[in-house]
Chains A and B, each alone.
Chain A
Amino acid sequence: MKKFTKLFIVALAFIAAVSLTSCKEKEAGTIKIGVAGPHSGDLASYGIPTVRAAELVVEKINAAGGINGSMIELLVEDDVCKPEIAANTAAKMVGDGVVAVIGHICSGATKAAMGTYMDSEIPAISPSATNPPLTQSGDYPNFFRTIAPDDAQALVEVEFAYAQGYKKIAVLHDKGDYGKGFAEFCKILLESDTKAEIVLYEGITPGAVDYTAIINKIASSGADAIIFGGYHPEASKLITQMKKKDMNLAFLSDDGVKDDTFIKVASKYAEGVYATGPIDTTSNPLAIAAVEAHQAKYGEAPGAFFLNAYSAALALVNAIDVADSVEYADITNALRSNYVDTPLGSISFDEKGDAIGVGFAIYQVQNGVYVELK
């Protein structure tokens, strides 16, 4: 027992010595970047890919000589996706002297942490917090994200409808969380100006034997376009029955309909249907390289939000590099004013902190496949 205690003390002393010396060595030129998110618990699978993405980016940068000679050091902290823990996580990282944070992952935890970062003037880039007010409220000018907010699809959809010149729009949904949420965002956007009018706003019953009544109602509303929030089974029923009645209204829908099963089931009637979907990044060489690097180091395919996190890390590193500074104002300015090539494409950030070039595009069914409209 005595022997063991002795050994333990020696080991402790050794660890302390090593960590002390390493601290001293790095003080000259390290840049500390925090990575926060759930790394244990139920939602760890959302947070771990971000840690790995940050590690891969930092390894690459450090191997190439760091940022203007300064090495980057990552401080990884677990917030378990809980707002009450996230506030402590944030305080700890601020205390440790981070210059910027990649994270947090969950919207609730992000919101809880942002106040702390705001007070200490530290920018944070989330790869995954999609709650719209985080950027839109303007409360957190230090907040950025490399993922589209929840209402981005609706925004893209409504802008597209305006661009096509539709004046009377019927908004339908399937009464589910996803479809109805989307329809409600569209409704709010459409009502916020006078470019188009909502002539019908209704939920349809999924799985009903027949949609003739609601289709008659759409016809009598005089709509020139339909925005449908929901999934492909109902969308294909609606479009099939409408086209059979020679109703050729424009049909706009969401990511739930941008699915090949929709085209398979609705076959010829699917032709010309519009749907929003995430901008395609599968052919981006940076995305391919990032996934390969992950595969090589960890021996498996990357998890949730990996590319978003990889892009966030690249954008942050690039901003520090361009600004040649770790001051708050310089980093945020650089984030807003520079485009950087990432696995998600060439991105920058707008005034509110949402990424420009990330998010949704409009696709149309042409000759039996979804084609992205540029």
Chain B
Amino acid sequence: MEFNFFFQYLLSGLTRGSIYALIALGYTMVYGIVKLINFAHGEIYMIGAFTALIVSGVLGMYGIDPVVTFMIAITAAVVYSAAYGVTLEKIAYAPLRKAPRLSALISAIGMSMFLQNYVLLAQTSDFLPFPDLLPEFKFLEPIKSILSTNQFLILVTTAVVMVLLTFLIKFTRTGKAMRATAQDREMAQLVGININRVISITFVIGSATAAIGGVLISSQIGQINFYIGFIVGIKAFVAAVLGGIGSIPGAVLGSFVLGITESFGTGYISSDYEDAFAFIILIVILIFKPSGLLGRKTTEKV
């Protein structure tokens, strides 16, 4: 019996970790390439969820099969969020590429507020129900209390996204260009890499994974509003820092450490201190490894 609970908390921690990972990837990739903390990233997640809600609402009116609707909705969310991500970069960050880093950071915070309020005005401040599109998987029926269909989907999707991303970065030309840009932007430019294109691709990938996370978690909790991106964004940012910002495996590891800590903290101590556990673990790790779990040591050039 005890082991059963342990397993439940572990799985709920992994689910949380997967969600954080999908969003943390965007933070860490953008940071790796342009050295910018994109605080509007949580809003991209929220826009993904809203797009899926609107698309599935429209398709639902035509009586299209829920599973097909879900597929179309998630695709639309990915495309739309990616477009937002790229536009964001072109409007708010590209003009500031040569400016001090603080300026770009302020620009990011401004975009975050702008997007939140834009969705608030264009949509509503109310909580909206997110449709329950996916059928319960039959093979999960016996272990439903331990692993729900949505949790299962979140875990599988995250794993697939991780594998694809690793493949992209390790084995493709684009991945190579991205790694080169991350190492030294000017040198990459000198050897003929179109860094504007690389940066755009980074924003596309980061926004797409965030949109997938947004759709998956919204269908898990069944509701969204304009503010959901904020808390998730902060948590995912913590996860990215925990793992070592700039490092992709680090973001994933940091997310799982954070998710599992929160879940076990809730399970064995008290959910009153859920957020406290997240930040205690951050502080402890940063004391011993200031660059994060898998972060590279950088010599600061002042």
Which of A202, A208, A209 counts the most chain B CB atoms within 10 A? A209
Within 8 A of A (CB), among B1-30: 5, 8-9, 11-13, 15-16, 19-20
Q: Is A60 an interface residue (CB 8 A)?
A: no
- What's the Cα separation between A202 and B272 when bound, in Å? 6
Q: Is the interface of B mostly helix, strand, loop or mixed?
A: helix
A–B pairs, 17, beta carbons within 8 Å: A209-B16, A209-B235, A210-B12, A210-B19, A210-B221, A213-B16, A233-B223, A237-B223, A240-B222, A240-B223, A241-B148, A241-B221, A245-B145, A246-B144, A261-B126, A264-B129, A265-B222
Of A14-22, A114-122, A215-223, A325-333, the one contacting chain B is: A215-223
Chain A positions within 8 Å of B148 at CB level: 212, 241, 244-245
CB–CB B144/A217 < 8 A: no
CB–CB B15/A265 < 8 A: no
Of B80-88, B163-171, B263-271, B294-302, the one contacting chain A is: B263-271
CB–CB B144/A207 < 8 A: no
Q: Is B128 an interface residue (CB 8 A)?
A: yes
Q: Is B151 an interface residue (CB 8 A)?
A: yes
Q: Is A168 an interface residue (CB 8 A)?
A: no
CB–CB B266/A214 < 8 A: yes
Chain A positions within 8 Å of B217 at CB level: 209-210
Q: Is B220 an interface residue (CB 8 A)?
A: yes
Chain B 135-156 against A: per-residue CB contact (8 Å), 1 yes, 0 no?
A: 0000000001100101100000
CB–CB A203/B145 < 8 A: no
CB–CB B129/A220 < 8 A: no
Q: How many pairs of A and B residues are in contact by the CB < 8 Å rule?
A: 101
- What's the Cα separation between A219 and B221 when bound, in Å? 18
CB–CB B127/A214 < 8 A: no
Within 8 A of A (CB), among B204-238: 217, 220-223, 225, 227-228, 230-232, 235
Chain B positions within 8 Å of A266 at CB level: 129, 222
- What's the Cα separation between A20 and B168 when bound, in Å? 97
- The listed residue (B5, B151, B227, B262) touching A207 by CB distance below 8 A is B227
- What's the Cα separation between A269 and B223 when bound, in Å? 12
Chain A positions within 8 Å of B15 at CB level: 210, 212
- What's the Cα separation between A205 and B16 when bound, in Å? 14
CB–CB A216/B9 < 8 A: yes
CB–CB B128/A265 < 8 A: yes
Minimum CB–CB distance from B167 to chain A (whole Å) comes to 27
CB–CB A219/B145 < 8 A: yes
CB–CB B223/A236 < 8 A: yes
Q: Beyond the given A209-B19, A265-B129, A266-B129, could you list 9 further A-B residue pairs with CB under 8 A, ordered by the A residue number?
A: A202-B272, A205-B271, A208-B274, A209-B20, A213-B12, A233-B127, A236-B222, A237-B222, A244-B148
Which of A204, A210, A213, A269 counts the most chain B CB atoms within 10 A? A213
CB–CB B12/A212 < 8 A: yes
CB–CB B231/A216 < 8 A: no
Q: Is the interface of A mostly helix, strand, loop or mixed?
A: helix
Q: Is A52 an interface residue (CB 8 A)?
A: no
CB–CB B16/A244 < 8 A: no
| Closest partner residue, chain B, to A212 (CB atom) | B12
Q: Is B275 an interface residue (CB 8 A)?
A: yes
Chain A positions within 8 Å of B227 at CB level: 207
B contact residues, total (Cβ < 8 Å): 40
- The listed residue (A208, A219, A232, A267) touching B127 by CB distance below 8 A is A232
| Closest partner residue, chain B, to A269 (CB atom) | B222
* Contact status of A220 and B5, CB under 8 A, knowing A213-B267, A237-B222, A240-B222: yes
- What's the Cα separation between A210 and B219 when bound, in Å? 11
- What's the Cα separation between A209 and B15 when bound, in Å? 10
| Closest partner residue, chain B, to A172 (CB atom) | B271
* Contact status of A216 and B126, CB under 8 A, knowing A209-B235, A244-B150: no
Top 7 A-B residue pairs of the complex, sorted by shortest distance between their CB atoms = A212-B12, A213-B266, A240-B222, A203-B272, A216-B8, A213-B263, A207-B231
CB–CB A210/B220 < 8 A: yes
- The listed residue (B19, B223, B232, B267) touching A216 by CB distance below 8 A is B267
Chain B positions within 8 Å of A213 at CB level: 9, 12-13, 16, 262-263, 266-267, 271
CB–CB B16/A216 < 8 A: no
Q: Is A175 an interface residue (CB 8 A)?
A: yes
Which of A175, A211, A237, A265 counts the most chain B CB atoms within 10 A? A265
Chain A positions within 8 Å of B228 at CB level: 207
| Closest partner residue, chain B, to A246 (CB atom) | B144
Chain B positions within 8 Å of A208 at CB level: 231, 274
* Contact status of A209 and B272, CB under 8 A, knowing A219-B145, A267-B129: no
Chain B 71-103 against A: per-residue CB contact (8 Å), 1 yes, 0 no?
A: 000000000000000000000000000000000
- What's the Cα separation between A237 and B274 when bound, in Å? 17
| Closest partner residue, chain B, to A204 (CB atom) | B271
Within 8 A of A (CB), among B242-285: 262-263, 266-267, 270-272, 274-275
| Closest partner residue, chain A, to B213 (CB atom) | A209
- What's the Cα separation between A203 and B265 when bound, in Å? 13
CB–CB B272/A175 < 8 A: yes
Minimum CB–CB distance from A157 to chain B (whole Å) comes to 21
CB–CB A217/B271 < 8 A: yes
Chain A positions within 8 Å of B144 at CB level: 245-246
CB–CB B12/A202 < 8 A: no
- What's the Cα separation between A261 and B271 when bound, in Å? 26
CB–CB A240/B5 < 8 A: no
CB–CB B12/A205 < 8 A: no
| Closest partner residue, chain A, to B16 (CB atom) | A210
| Closest partner residue, chain A, to B20 (CB atom) | A209
Minimum CB–CB distance from A303 to chain B (whole Å) comes to 25
- What's the Cα separation between A241 and B222 when bound, in Å? 8
Chain B positions within 8 Å of A212 at CB level: 8, 11-12, 15-16, 148, 151, 263
Chain A 217-251 against B: per-residue CB contact (8 Å), 1 yes, 0 no?
A: 10110000000000011001100110011110000
Chain A positions within 8 Å of B271 at CB level: 202-205, 213-214, 217
Minimum CB–CB distance from A73 to chain B (whole Å) comes to 49
Chain A positions within 8 Å of B150 at CB level: 244
Chain B positions within 8 Å of A232 at CB level: 127
- The listed residue (B19, B221, B275) touching A237 by CB distance below 8 A is B221
Chain B positions within 8 Å of A246 at CB level: 144-145
